């Protein structure tokens, strides 16, 4: 039964991200060649993040992993693994950007709508089929999706959407007993860090636009 539950969860996650990628593909005004290149970019980074979550789980349970590797792999991924994966992910993106192998602004403009749309479908499925109360969060995600559709598809506007998303989560954290992004419990400190980074990014892209 536990294996079936894991497979269902993986299926919902996969389907949600496929929906997010399709949303980006049909909404963005880029050419087919640009869309293909950007979707390849975000798909590879999502795969990297999944790998980093597994790595984070191993690092968090490193003593148990040395004793019994398969026991660690059987553990569900927790928030600590998510935080470790996020830190590694941000570090690798920074290194790739420094080496001119990736454009952070391009990644932001693709990653933002994919994650927001994926989150919307994921939360909608959780509410409809798993009795999760996510109505307020769904309303926030719908607002963000409309914001993405109506606004120019610039890194500055995507940073503003990320800030709005994080600010909404911060408010929800005082209304709900806990906050989850996909299946991971998220702390207020993490949300505040996202808000700060997105605000700094917004200021950076705005200054670059004015110059």
Provide, rounded to the nearest whole percent, the portion of the chain with pLDDT above 70: 91
pLDDT at 166: 94
In terms of C-beta density within 10 A (0-12 exposed, 13-18 middle, 19 or more buried), how is residue 97 classed? middle
Token readout for 62 is 């490193």
Domain positions in the chain are 2-210
Query: Nearest-CA neighbor of 109 among 189, 184, 39?
Result: 39
> Model pTM?
0.86
Token readout for 131 is 């009795």
For 38-93, the pLDDT digits (tens) are: 888 888 988 888 888 888 888 877 777 777 766 666 666 678 888 988 999 999 99
Distances (CA, A) of 207 to 9, 124, 147, 173: 42, 37, 22, 32
pLDDT at 73: 63
Q: Which pairing describes strands 179-181 and 184-186: parallel, antiparallel, or unpaired?
A: antiparallel
Q: What is the 3-state secondary structure (H, E, C) of 140-198?
A: HHHHHHHHHHHCCCCHHHHHHHHHHHHHHHHHHHHHCCCEEECCEEECHHHHHHHHHHH
Query: In the block, which residue shows the tokens 């994650």?
Result: 115
| CA–CA dist 5, 122 (Å, integer) | 15
8 A C-beta contact, residue 167 and residue 195: yes
The pLDDT profile of the chain, 211 residues, written as one tens digit per residue, is: 545 665 677 788 888 999 999 999 998 887 888 888 888 888 898 888 888 888 888 887 777 777 776 666 666 667 888 898 899 999 999 898 888 888 888 888 888 999 999 999 999 988 887 777 778 889 999 999 999 999 888 889 999 999 999 999 999 988 888 888 887 888 999 999 999 999 999 998 888 877 7
pLDDT at 2: 45
8 A C-beta contact, residue 35 and residue 130: no
8 A C-beta contact, residue 107 and residue 93: yes
User: Which residues are 181's β-sheet partners?
Assistant: 184
pLDDT at 74: 62
pLDDT at 205: 87
């Amino acid at each position: 039964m536990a294996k079936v539950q894991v497979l269902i969860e993986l299926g919902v996650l996969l389907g949600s991200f496929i929906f997010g990628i399709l949303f980006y593909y049909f909404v963005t005004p880029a050419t087919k060649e640009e869309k293909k290149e950007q979707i390849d970019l975000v798909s590879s980074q999502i795969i990297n993040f999944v790998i980093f979550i597994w790595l984070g789980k191993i690092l968090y349970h490193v003593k148990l992993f040395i004793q019994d590797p398969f026991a660690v792999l059987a553990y569900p991924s927790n928030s600590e693994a998510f935080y470790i994966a996020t830190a590694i992910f941000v570090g690798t993106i920074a290194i790739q950007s420094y080496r001119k192998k990736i454009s952070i602004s391009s990644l932001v403009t693709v990653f933002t709508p994919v994650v927001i749309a994926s989150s919307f479908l994921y939360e909608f499925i959780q509410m409809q089929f798993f009795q999760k109360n996510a109505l307020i969060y769904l309303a926030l995600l719908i607002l963000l999706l409309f914001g993405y559709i109506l606004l120019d598809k610039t890194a500055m506007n995507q940073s503003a959407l990320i800030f709005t998303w994080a600010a909404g989560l911060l408010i929800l954290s005082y209304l709900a007993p806990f906050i989850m992004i996909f299946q991971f419990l998220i702390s207020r400190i993490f949300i505040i860090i996202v808000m700060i980074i997105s605000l700094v990014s917004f200021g950076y892209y705005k200054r670059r636009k004015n110059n």
